[in-house]
Structure 1
């Protein structure tokens, strides 16, 4: 029996290089300090090497990879030009209205996956101040209909608003998940097509928002979340101070556990390869990140990638 892999990776500020500042104290376009061509090329090389490690350990490259914290299309083009992709991967990407200019994207093996259609799902929120109001924006959710072995799969890639400042974005995450639940429920009832939703939810699997998301309005379980068990077993993809977190998750419809379906779940993983971990014993077991605050460390990302390995009949 053959295997295929689907992966998601929050790559931590994969931004194009900033132009040289006219004045030393000028703000940068990226918001990062001294984000130049050398650091950018190092980052691109490191992200590509992560997938080389996945191929080395698992014996196969992921056929679909969701990415977040991407700034524009150019980093994606530069990434797939490198080994192990060698320009054999396609790109689905849209520029979002996010205030930091970061997007989500999908790259895919063109020999295995055909993209039928794609669109960004955009969300705007009204913020009221004492004497005025304005629209707040966030990352788009990427929606694709793809074909694998003549089977249509509905794919959502997301990076929900972050937990910060006493979680001011909680209502935004709730709204987006509520809207996506309606869309997923419609797909299941109208077409019976399978659904895969993955990304950085900025919520752990055991939090109420995620626990509720996998059920429809009639309390029928419509999605499986194999990362809930990983979280219970203290497998974490990122950290905040002393807390281990599993914000990065994949959820799937029950089609993916049907032995007659082209892809059946074998195993879910946090890919915490030792080469991706921090070298400092104080932060042992944590991702080797690119930045710690404003301090450049030169690592991969502040998240580990996640994987689901599938059995396939062909």
Structure 2
């Protein structure tokens, strides 16, 4: 794997914020806090040190190149899903493709039944963390017993000296059926709405970026009620098509991985960031190159069969830009 050396111009007026579901980034340690029997050396999946290192290297290469065509550099902020613990994040940061990226992270263990968490990677030269906290989704099954999923992570900090709030999500899956699990995602949507409302009450004109694998698309109720109720902008609405998405399930594309932002990212301020564009990072190296599923994500596993790829999801990203509208110029320093 080689980096995009043709993009040598670094855009200091731009920053990338990305999200990536890493498809079960688990290490080889039998963690008592994680339900990871399939991802151990003696498991049917035969999760070995070599396979783990290969996945770290590939994920690191993918992350380091997100948004690089536009900005000439790695992302300032990356929301992550499906990480087992802090140890795997540290291993990812230490991988060869990311070792010079100055990444640190924010992570909390969540009560998820599968032992998976969300986390935030950030370049310490671009983003300073001021505070962070997690929020638990209150769920219960038909018998009234509690169910546990990933917490929502809120990180507040300064991106090139501008205060922003980043909220990372990984909502309940559709594994048991779309309708059967919809109430869980609606509960997560309500919790997210409460979090955003609290931020807006605490901070005047708060700039908020919402990232996640929502397991719902832009046109599902759980997402649309956020956009309408909180005056958010969802650029992913225009990206999904019959031929394109972030994840391919049951013969169709879905855009479950999304980035939303508050509409004040469209209000010009002399020193502030504005929304520039959003995209699915579906470069060819992340895709299967042949067979009936050609063009879909190159996965680590299909069932219990090892494929040696990156993830079953494509990353998504948004570019934010500082522009000098007084002169009409966008300087490259």
TM-score normalised to structure 1 length: 0.89
Q: Give me the whole-angstrom Cα distance separating, in 2, the residues matched to 1:238 and 1:64.
A: 21
Q: Give me the whole-angstrom Cα distance separating, in 2, the residues matched to 1:95 and 1:304.
A: 24
Work out which of the residue numbers 96, 102, 105 in structure 1 matches 2:119. 105
Per the TM alignment, residue 232 of structure 1 is displaced from its structure 2 partner at its CA by: 4.8
Per the TM alignment, residue 280 of structure 1 is displaced from its structure 2 partner at its CA by: 2.2
Work out which of the residue numbers 59, 65, 75 in structure 2 matches 1:62. 75
Structure 1 residues 189 and 235 mapped into 2: Cα distance closer, same or farther (>3 Å)?
A: farther
CA deviation vs aligned residue, 1:152-182 (integer Å, no higher than 9, x gap): 2111001000012223321111011112112
Work out which of the residue numbers 273, 291, 303 in structure 1 matches 2:301. 291
Q: Tell me, which stretches of 5 or more residues in structure 1 are unaligned?
A: 20-25
Q: Give me the whole-angstrom Cα distance separating, in 2, the residues matched to 1:35 and 1:112.
A: 35
Work out which of the residue numbers 189, 194, 197 in structure 2 matches 1:182. 194
1:123-202 matched pairs, under 5 angstroms: 123-129=137-143, 133-167=144-178, 168-191=180-203, 192-202=205-215
CA deviation vs aligned residue, 1:110-146 (integer Å, no higher than 9, x gap): 01101000111112323243xxx53210011111111
Indicate the residue corresponding to 2:257 in structure 1.
248
Q: Give me the whole-angstrom Cα distance separating, in 2, the residues matched to 1:38 and 1:119.
A: 34
Q: Give me the whole-angstrom Cα distance separating, in 1, the residues matched to 2:211 and 2:94.
A: 24
Q: Tell me, which stretches of 5 or more residues in structure 2 are unaligned?
A: 1-10, 31-35, 324-332
Structure 1 residues 247 and 28 mapped into 2: Cα distance closer, same or farther (>3 Å)?
A: closer
Query: Is the counterpart of residue 3 in structure 1 residue 17 in structure 2?
Result: no
Decide which moves more: 57-66 or 80-89.
80-89
Structure 1 residues 29 and 149 mapped into 2: Cα distance closer, same or farther (>3 Å)?
A: closer
1:181-260 matched pairs, under 5 angstroms: 181-191=193-203, 192-216=205-229, 222-232=231-241, 234-260=243-269
Per the TM alignment, residue 150 of structure 1 is displaced from its structure 2 partner at its CA by: 2.9
Q: Give me the whole-angstrom Cα distance separating, in 1, the residues matched to 2:262 and 2:44.
A: 39
Per the TM alignment, residue 55 of structure 1 is displaced from its structure 2 partner at its CA by: 6.2
Q: Give me the whole-angstrom Cα distance separating, in 1, the residues matched to 2:152 and 2:206.
A: 19
Indicate the residue corresponding to 1:272 in structure 2.
282
Query: Is the counterpart of residue 121 in structure 1 residue 128 in structure 2?
Result: no
Q: Give me the whole-angstrom Cα distance separating, in 1, the residues matched to 2:240 and 2:84.
A: 29
Query: Is the counterpart of residue 306 in structure 1 residue 316 in structure 2?
Result: yes
CA RMSD of aligned residues (A): 2.1
1:15-54 matched pairs, under 5 angstroms: 15-18=26-29, 27-28=37-38, 33-54=45-66
SS class of match (1:281)? coil
Per the TM alignment, residue 233 of structure 1 is displaced from its structure 2 partner at its CA by: 7.5
Q: Give me the whole-angstrom Cα distance separating, in 1, the residues matched to 2:285 and 2:314.
A: 11
**Contact persistence 2:118–2:168 (CA under 8 A):** yes
Indicate the residue corresponding to 2:5 in structure 1.
none
Q: Across the two proteins, how many residue pairs are aligned to each other?
A: 301
**Contact persistence 1:68–1:102 (CA under 8 A):** yes
Query: Is the counterpart of residue 80 in structure 1 residue 89 in structure 2?
Result: no
Structure 1 residues 29 and 281 mapped into 2: Cα distance closer, same or farther (>3 Å)?
A: closer
**Contact persistence 2:84–2:117 (CA under 8 A):** yes
Q: Give me the whole-angstrom Cα distance separating, in 2, the residues matched to 1:32 and 1:149.
A: 46
Structure 1 residues 57 and 83 mapped into 2: Cα distance closer, same or farther (>3 Å)?
A: farther
TM-score normalised to structure 2 length: 0.84
